[in-house]
Structure 1
Amino acid sequence: MDQVQQDGKKSGAADSVVPLLELKGLDKRFGATHALKSVDLIFEAGEIHAIVGENGAGKSTLIKLLTGVHVRSGGEVYWEGKPVALATPHEAIGYGINAVHQEVVLCPHLTVAANLFLGDEKVRLGLLQHREMVREAQKILDEIGFKIAAGAILSSLTIGQQQLVATARATTRGTRFLIFDEPTAYLTRQETAQLFALIGRLKAKGVTIVYISHRLEEVFQLTDRVSILRDGQWVSTQRTAETNEEKLITGMIARSIEQIHYKETIPFGAEILRTERLSGKGFE
């Protein structure tokens, strides 16, 4: 496999500064299935680093290894130059590693505030201080620009709003390394703009963002570097400004766009459907 780095380094190191997180030969097997095959990656402090690849490329496995859900089968992980195990979610959170998953993993019957403080509830004399939690949660949501009521029951919100609540929760836990997995899949344009603004502020604070998305336009809009995975293997890491969509697609599928696209010219017939002035949730 061709593993060419535009910056001359296999795993994409930006310079000689010790990276926040480095993976060397990361390997994961599930029985006979070899999900990740000796992957090398470097993540710098304060960068937005995209991971792209087809379904089955190893992206989900990588997330679960970094967040301690799965234990690696081989390889080494270094946090600020020191070897770490990342063997449990508790250990990963202790280093400030968090993830916002595509599917919301929260408690739908609780309020937004209760979800934000889940596991870290404010208690006084054995009593849950819900009003205080709502006030603090609303302050957090307002500060990060999410237009959501902290006292609302989570299940009353749209899926996109629930995703933003999950994002807010991840940013309040001493996060230094935050993984987004297809974060805009359920968001409206307005919610997407709110998310992107937050990502920019997190980057400015030195938080490392790993951005996993099939939407390549978002990769080019947001990220500093982009790494390609294919069939569980690392293919390349490049500065986003120095590549293009065609090169990324070719790296992901190991074929040129011309080899997979065939466009047949078909004459248009009579109009069969017309819509005007549609409105409702999802159209904002």
Structure 2
Amino acid sequence: MNEILRLDHVQFSDTYGNLLSNFNFSVQEGEIHGIIGDYGVTHSTLCSLCTGTLQPERGQIYYCDQPVGRLSFAESRQKGLYAIASGKNLQGNMNVLENIYLIARRQFGWQFRRRQIARQALQYLEFFDIPIPLQECADNLTDLQSCMVSMTGAIIAGAKLFILDEITSSLNEQDAIAFQKVLSCLKYKGLSVVCMVHRIEELVRYTDRATLVKNGTTVRCMEKNDYSYDKMLAMLLI
């Protein structure tokens, strides 16, 4: 598999004195990659570094093997980089179809082509096996449904990599099973996913590889067949 994103010896400090130091991380095409531990910075800061909207103080960020400088929000999305946080991340006063259009509108222009957008939206929601009425108000969606609406719009817009900030932490068992199927669908399409998680159990359940971080520094990258709860816990705590 080809590498889509790499953070090489990255260092970044924020205004609160938090520090990400000697952070090494990479994700390949069609991979579900987990990150766990004490990042040294906030989740939103790490998401911004992964999407290129923050530039590290030291180190380099590579996207598709090419070094990238700081990107605007629009430039990051044009490259197919999408960060999605847990909870409600849509326009709550709009319905599902309108939210998908807002995310993917550069594919459709400024004209709201309802039938064309609805056709593509339904195609992907059926592919993921997540039934969501397109006229449903976004405020009424579950966290999983909200995430899927964001993903659907992003895929229509040309997404290549998702950075998910604690999406899996709030899922009940039924939604967790559904989300595993979603991740399999994304891998089938060759899309990559970074899952920022709190619990080792989430790494075991959802990911193919995992990067362990302690005090803002990468401890180790582990393959799925080497996952061990005790080993991971020891690396994160000792």
Q: Aligned AA for 2:124?
A: I
Q: Aligned AA for 1:108?
A: G
User: How much does 1:104 deviate?
Assistant: 2.6
User: How much does 1:235 deviate?
Assistant: 1.0
- Deviation above 6 Å: which 4+ runs of structure 1? none
Question: What is the SS of the residue equivalent to 1:236?
Answer: strand
2:52 is the counterpart of 1:68: yes
* The structure with more radius of gyration: 1
In the alignment, structure 1 segments of 5+ residues that lack a partner are 1-16, 255-284
Q: Which of 227, 245, 258 matches 2:229?
A: 245
Q: Deviations over 1:65-90 (max 9, x none)?
A: 11234332221111222111143222
Label 1:102 to 1:91 Cα distance change in 2 as closer, same or farther (>3 A).
same
Q: Deviations over 1:29-78 (max 9, x none)?
A: 22462421121222222222110114756654221211234332221111
- 1:275 alignment partner in structure 2: none
Q: Which of 191, 195, 205 matches 1:221?
A: 205
Question: What is the SS of the residue equivalent to 1:214?
Answer: coil
Question: Is the 8 Å Cα contact of residues 226 and 237 (structure 1) preserved in structure 2?
Answer: yes
Q: Aligned AA for 1:165?
A: V
2:101 is the counterpart of 1:117: yes
Label 1:110 to 1:129 Cα distance change in 2 as closer, same or farther (>3 A).
same
- 2:131 alignment partner in structure 1: 147
Label 1:186 to 1:171 Cα distance change in 2 as closer, same or farther (>3 A).
farther
Q: Deviations over 1:140-183 (max 9, x none)?
A: 32222111101111112234422332233333321211112211
Label 1:59 to 1:233 Cα distance change in 2 as closer, same or farther (>3 A).
farther
- 1:91 alignment partner in structure 2: 75
Q: Aligned AA for 2:224?
A: T
More helix by share: 2
Q: Aligned AA for 1:49?
A: H
Q: Distance in 2 between matches of 1:210 and 1:118?
A: 23
Q: Distance in 1 between matches of 2:170 and 2:224?
A: 25
Q: Aligned AA for 2:92?
A: P
Label 1:180 to 1:31 Cα distance change in 2 as closer, same or farther (>3 A).
closer
Q: What TM-score do the two structures reach when normalised by structure 1?
A: 0.74
Label 1:21 to 1:123 Cα distance change in 2 as closer, same or farther (>3 A).
closer
Q: Distance in 2 between matches of 1:123 and 1:100?
A: 22
Q: RMSD of the alignment, in Å?
A: 2.5
- 1:128 alignment partner in structure 2: 112
2:124 is the counterpart of 1:106: no
In the alignment, structure 2 segments of 5+ residues that lack a partner are none
2:162 is the counterpart of 1:178: yes
